[in-house]
Amino acid sequence: YNVPVVRVINGQKVLMSGNGDGSIYGLSLLTDKKLWSYPLSKRGINSSVVVQGNRLYASHSEENVDESTAMGRLVCLDVSKIVNGKPELVWKVDGFTAGYASPAIWKNYLFQVDNSANLVAFDALTGEEFWKYNIGVMQRASPVVVDNKLMVSDVDGKFHILSLFFILLMLG
């Protein structure tokens, strides 16, 4: 269900997206070859990735592929640093269940809505959670940043518009 993202990484155009096998992939648009993959979930990735600079952010709400018993994970990968076919993991947040909504990024803030309709602000550089705001009972829509506002609808038919400057004041 996700939408691929295309960015120039290390001088080449790369298509990046989650896949039905639970991995995130980077594919060269010049050669059509797989550049890297990152196993994230034991099931498919429904939410789209977001990329800022060389950092890719992705999430899911299913079982993790490693020893973690938590459901869901949010990760930040440096897709310019590939070792053994995998991008470098910058940070991860285990137990964050965002399997439908895609993240949005503004400055150094990552905004993501979990499956329980909690809109959460993270430090995009460290993964530290700054702020949480509940917008309903469950969530499928992705937040969008427009004109210094964060906009997102919920499954109850409400549309939320939050000033990012007000959020910054709340974040301190």
User: Does the model's pTM come out above 0.85?
Assistant: yes
What is the side-by-side strand order in the sheet with 159-163? 144-146, 149-153, 159-163
Least confident interval from 63-67, 97-101, 121-125: 63-67
- What per-residue confidence (pLDDT) applies to 158? 83
DSSP H or E run through 171? helix 164-171
> 163: pLDDT confidence band, cut at 50, 70 and 90?
confident
> 171: pLDDT confidence band, cut at 50, 70 and 90?
low
Q: Is the pLDDT of residue 161 over 90?
A: no
Q: Residue 133: what are its φ and ψ, rounded to 5°?
A: -140, 120
- What per-residue confidence (pLDDT) applies to 122? 96
- What per-residue confidence (pLDDT) applies to 155? 79
Distances in Å between the alpha carbon of 101 and those of 12, 111, 118? Answer: 28, 10, 11
CA dihedral in degrees (133, 144, 102, 30; nearest 10)? -160
**What are the tokens at 81?**
């640093």
- What per-residue confidence (pLDDT) applies to 172? 58
Percentage of the residues of the chain whose pLDDT score is greater than 70: 97
For residue 49, give every residue at least 6 positions away whose Cβ sits within 8 Å of its Cβ, in sequence order, or none. 2, 5, 16, 17, 18, 24, 56, 57, 58, 102
DSSP H or E run through 166? helix 164-171
Q: Is the pLDDT of residue 170 over 80?
A: no
Q: Is the pLDDT of residue 118 over 70?
A: yes
Selected residue with higher pLDDT from 154 and 80: 80
Distances in Å between the alpha carbon of 91 and those of 42, 80, 94, 96, 146? Answer: 19, 15, 10, 13, 27
Q: Is the pLDDT of residue 140 over 90?
A: no
The rounded mean pLDDT for the chain is 91
**What are the tokens at 46?**
């429904």
Q: Is the pLDDT of residue 95 over 90?
A: yes
What is the side-by-side strand order in the sheet with 34-39? 5-9, 12-18, 23-28, 34-39
pLDDT digits (tens, 9 = 90+) for 2-30: 899 999 999 999 999 999 999 999 999 99
